[in-house]
Amino acid sequence: MLNIENLLLRLGGNDILKNIDLSVESGEVVSLIGPSGTGKTSLLRCINLLEAPYAGRMTFENDTYDFSKISQRDKLRLRRQTAMVFQQYNLFKNKTVLENVMEAQVLVQKKSKQAAYDESLDQLEKVGLRNKLDSYPARLSGGQQQRVSIARALAVHPSVILFDEPTSALDPELVGEVLHTIRDVAKSGMTILLVTHEMRFAKDISDRVIFMDNGQVEEQGTPEDIFNRSQNPRTRQFLSQFYTPNFEI
């Protein structure tokens, strides 16, 4: 469904992503883990062309893109097929929950207001927020805001959802409800690429885990391969910080 070859990204004169190869199958849940500053967010941003790699190729659904020759039309097409969920939710503060979920459907997808309304109700029901339609984001908890942003992502029926550390801005007691919602999304068969520091969750939910280090894919495999059997010293060193006497991945 998604296949990237030889992606190179340079920002501010530095090579941020170096020769990235990555593929995601339809319906697959793939987690990206790795140290801070390693390029995980940048990689997600390349997939919907929020960043412009200077070389590489990507096949998405049945279209092939040459990163060095991206047109405005390519950008629009790709952004219609992808949805991103950010650490900081990125909801419009001056719009209600319902308006936030309807926005892209009406403005980008050109759906009728009625169709967008019906779809929004459906998605908000799924994330358990059908009763908050008229609330403004400031009146919601962080967990609720993140669930609105997940409903907004689902409402455009993307081919893939890109999650960038969706729980790291949340108070610990609110993390569970968001992980629960993401698990439901995964169960529905959605293709997911997830950047996370929640190792136990990544192990549990993923079909495949990719460990990135220093702008490169260092190792990838099943959750067992990475969390239990990795022989790669960098992977092992990264994971060791998540082991404590009372917590085993």
Ligand X SMILES: Nc1ncnc2c1ncn2[C@@H]1O[C@H](COP(=O)(O)OP(=O)(O)OP(=O)(O)O)[C@@H](O)[C@H]1O
- Per CB under 6 A, the list member of 20, 22, 38, 238 interacting with ligand X is 38
Shortest Cβ distance from residue 162 to Mg ion (Å)?
A: 12
Q: Which is nearer to ligand X, 51 or 119 (CB)?
A: 51
CB-based contacts of 123: which residues, under 8 Å, 6+ apart?
101, 151, 152, 154, 155
The least CB distance from residue 242 to Mg ion, in Å, is 17
Least gap, CB of 50 to ligand X (angstroms)? 11
Q: How many CB atoms lie within 10 A of CB 237?
A: 11
Of these, 24, 29, 39, 46, which contacts ligand X (CB under 6 A)? 39
- Least spacing, CB of residue 168 vs ligand X, in Å: 8
Question: Considering the rule CB under 5 A, would residue 38 count as an interface residue with Mg ion?
Answer: no
Residue with tokens 């040459």: 66
Q: Which stretch binds ligand X (CB under 6 A): 36-44, 66-74, 78-86, 175-183?
A: 36-44
SS3 156: coil
- What is the C-alpha separation between 9 and 215, in angstroms, rounded? 9
**Which residues 6+ apart lie within 8 Å of 12 measured at CB?**
none
Q: Are 176 and 141 in contact (CB under 8 A)?
A: no
Instruction: Report which residue's Cβ sits closest to Mg ion.
Output: 41
Q: Which does 36 bind (CB under 5 to 8 A by kind): ligand X, Mg ion, none?
A: ligand X
Near Mg ion by CB under 5 A: residue from 41, 123, 145, 167 = 41
Give the shortest CB-17-to-ligand X separation in angstroms.
8
Dmax (CA) for the chain in angstroms is 55
The contact pattern for ligand X, residues 85-124, with x = CB under 6 A and - = no contact, is ----------------------------------------
Asked if 185 and 155 touch (Cβ cutoff 8 Å), the reply is no
Q: Which two tokens stand for residue 226?
A: 């990475």
Spatial strand order of the sheet with 29-33 comes to 82-85, 160-164, 192-195, 29-33, 208-213, 216-221
Residue 42 touches which of Mg ion, ligand X, none (Cβ within 5-8 Å per kind): ligand X
Of 37, 54, 108, 125, which lies in the binding site for ligand X, with binding defined by CB under 6 A? 37
Interacting residues with ligand X (CB under 6 A): 11-12, 14, 16, 36-42
